A and B are shown apart, each in its own frame.
Chain A
Amino acid sequence: MNLSDFFYMGGYAAFLWPAYGLVLSVLVYNVWSARRAHQEARRAAVRRLQMEETRS
């Protein structure tokens, strides 16, 4: 099987690759947004703790 046949996917390329691309990008996005949520929560917590220290 050669590579261009593989990308051609028996004529279904226009539907198949967007489907795979979409699912994979959603998977990547979910990981990214979860990690960002974690980092932001950490940053917010650090800020909160600093505020408390300066107040006390």
Chain B
Amino acid sequence: MQPTGLLRAGALLYSRDLKLAFRRWEQVTQPVVFFLMVTTLFPLALSPDTAQLRQVAAGIVWVAALLSALLALEFMFRSDYEDGTLEQLVLSGQPLWWLALVKALAHWTVSGLPLVVASPLVAASLAVPTEAQATVVVSLILGTGILSFLGAVGAGLTLGVRRGSVLLSLLVLPLTMPALIFGARAVDLSIMGDSSRGPLLLLTAMFILSLTLGPFATSAALKVSME
């Protein structure tokens, strides 16, 4: 028997995770529903005035998206941890950082991507002009990606810990604050009609940093948690 190659193993794990996620449909939809609901609360609490909403829209979209993505984070490894799949993955002989990367990517596909898809709707409801929609989508793709890769570390560390979900937010949120700063800034700039290139490039740099370093930290975290 020939050992499974990296790409093949990655593809297998990715499609398996997607299949499992779609079988538990509510886990995919819950963050999106939460996202829509939270962003509905803001106009009710602040004011329905469009000009006023537009001023704070960038912040609302970003904070709400971050919190919604955080909601799904604790499920990234949990069921695999409980049924022993994670142990098999650790022992599979494939590099764990690669598996961690694929799992984070799969998790992003089922939790981050729906938020990105829903974001133009939310942004429009907050009076974000059409020209700024592209920035909303791009910044959220990068932002939810950063959250998935950084959050994977936190999810790995809090496996099997009591009150893990609260702890997870405490661990992950401070680390994502830079992404929030630049993401919201980029959206804000393009709402005001300026170029959002600067903050978007910085956000991309952060995305690459979390993509390259995150999986290694995640694999260290998983190894510690599985010992």
Whether chain A touches chain B in the assembled complex (some CB pair under 8 Å): no
